[in-house]
Structure 1
């Protein structure tokens, strides 16, 4: 790569790194994994920087590399579940409602398949149009729409399921308190 292109890439990373890291954080819930994802995508993009003719599309290219990388990681993961009788208490890092909502959303996003998660992230967090999302993911606009529809339905179903579980748990707690008070 020519010296001028190296400087151009460095400038691009310097100006766009915060936005790109936010995108990575939306693709993977762990902040350290998000940084690793972005770094991996930047390394892969650096090797192909001179091949990106229209640098205005660099964000889309890099997001696509992040999505592909995340998908590779997801496919290569080893599922090591440890059965336990007692589930650990869920913890919320911050007591504010906004942080709790964000944590819940990031948690329920885990139920989505990688393709569905990518579509939701690009359409709703990155606020890309259907056509931009289709181009970034290499699929048709119709596929984006149907994938988004199914993903949002799955998220709604998961939220409703968790709401029902919470209502049942509260009712059981109330019954237990009333029984102990009697």
Structure 2
């Protein structure tokens, strides 16, 4: 790789490391795995850097590599994943409501299928347009819209508070 390309790649990495790591964290839910994901995607990008620069789309290329790699890791991990007992996953309560809401949202986001999660992350956290997401994921804008709609519906259902028991409902119940 020519020295100019190498320097441009280094500048790109230093400018984009934070945003890419944030996106990777939202895709994976784990900081260590997110950093591994970014490094893996940047390694793939480095190999194609000269070609990517000619197309002037390194950010899109890296995000696409991150999403594909995250989906691939998820598929491979599915066969060896061991579910934990509820007693093993007890979370300590957070003192601040904002942090608790963020925690619940990230948990609900992690329960979504990888492509649906990718659409929501790219749309609402990366603020990409539906057309840009469609190009990035190699699908139609209609697919992006439907995945976003279904994903938001699942998040709403997952984050909706359970119904509360009121005195009226207790009086109506003969049991």
TM-score normalised per structure 2: 0.86
Q: Can you list the C-alpha shifts for 1:12-64, whole angstroms capped at 9, x where unaligned?
A: 11112111111111111111111111111111110111111233x21111011
Q: Which residue of 1 aligns with 2:69?
A: 69
Matched residue, 2:100: 100
Q: Distance in 2 between matches of 1:127 and 1:88?
A: 32
In structure 1, runs of 5+ residues without a counterpart are 172-182
Distance 1:5 1:87 in 2: 48
CA contact (8 A) 2:27 2:110 kept: no
Unaligned ranges ≥5, structure 2 = 167-175
Q: Shift of the alpha carbon at 1:87?
A: 6.0
* Aligned CA-pair RMSD: 1.8
Residue 88 of structure 1 deviates from its aligned partner by 4.6
How far apart are the structure 2 equivalents of 1:83 and 1:23? 29
1:79 aligns with 81
Report the alpha carbon displacement of residue 4 of structure 1 after superposing the two structures with TM: 1.6
2: distance between equivalents of 1:146 and 1:135? 15
Distance across 1 between alignment mates of 2:128 and 2:89: 37
TM-score by length of 1: 0.83
Q: Secondary structure at the match of 1:164?
A: coil
What is the CA distance between 1:158 and its match in structure 2? 1.2
The aligned residue for residue 89 of structure 1 is 90
How many residues align? The count is 163
Q: Larger relative CO (CA 8 A, sep 6+): 1 or 2?
A: 2
CA distance in 1, matches of 2:84, 2:29: 21
Q: Which residue of 2 aligns with 1:135?
A: 135
- Aligned-residue offset at 1:89: 2.8
